[in-house]
A and B are shown apart, each in its own frame.
Chain A
Amino acid sequence: MIATVALLLAVAPDEPIAAPLPQAPDEVTAPAPAAEPPAVEPSPPTAAPVAPTATPPTAAAVTKPASPRRRPIASGPWVPNAWPTAPTCTLDPTDAPWCALVRADVFAGARAGTIGGAAQNEFRLDRAEAATGLLWKPATRFETGGVIALEAIRSAGPQSLTGIDGDSLVVRLLEAYGQAAAHFGPIDVGVRAGLVPERWIEQVEKGYDTRGFDALASDRVRMFDRADIGVAFTASAWDGRVDVDVEIVNGEGRAQRELNRGKNTTAIVTVRPLLREHPRGPLVLALHGAFRDGSLGIASIADRRGAAAVTFASPWVYAGVEFVHALGYAGRADLQASTLSSWVSGRILPRWLGAMAKYDHVRQDVAVAGSVIHVVGGAVFSDVFEHIDRNRRRVRVYAGYQFEGYGDAAAPLPGVVGALDAHRFLVQLELRGLARFGPKEIRP
Chain B
Amino acid sequence: MLDFIRRILWLTPKFFAVAVALFALYAQLLPKDDRRLPLFLNSSPGSASAASARALDLLVQDKPEARAEIERLGAFFVLYAIPRQSTLDLETRARLLEALRPIRERMGLLPSAERASRLRDETSEDTLFWTRFVEERSLDFTAQARARTIKRLLTDRLHLKGDDLRVLDTYALPALVDALGTVKSTADAERVRKLAAAIARLVDPSFALHDQPTPDEARETASRIRAYWDRAGPDFAEHAPLDRVYQSITQTEFLIWASRVGRWIIGMDQSRLAERARLDGAQSGRLYLTSVLSAIVLGPLLALALTVRALGRAERRRSLTRRLALVAILALMLGAVATSRLTPALEVSLAATLAGLTSAFVLDRELRERFDFRMTRVLSRRRPLARAVAVVNNMAPGIPTLLPLVLLEALVIPLCLPGQGQPTGFRHSLVSAFRSGDVEYLMLLSLSLGLATALLQIAADALLNVFRRRLGELR
Answer yes or no: do A and B interact. no
B interface vs A, CB < 8 Å?
none
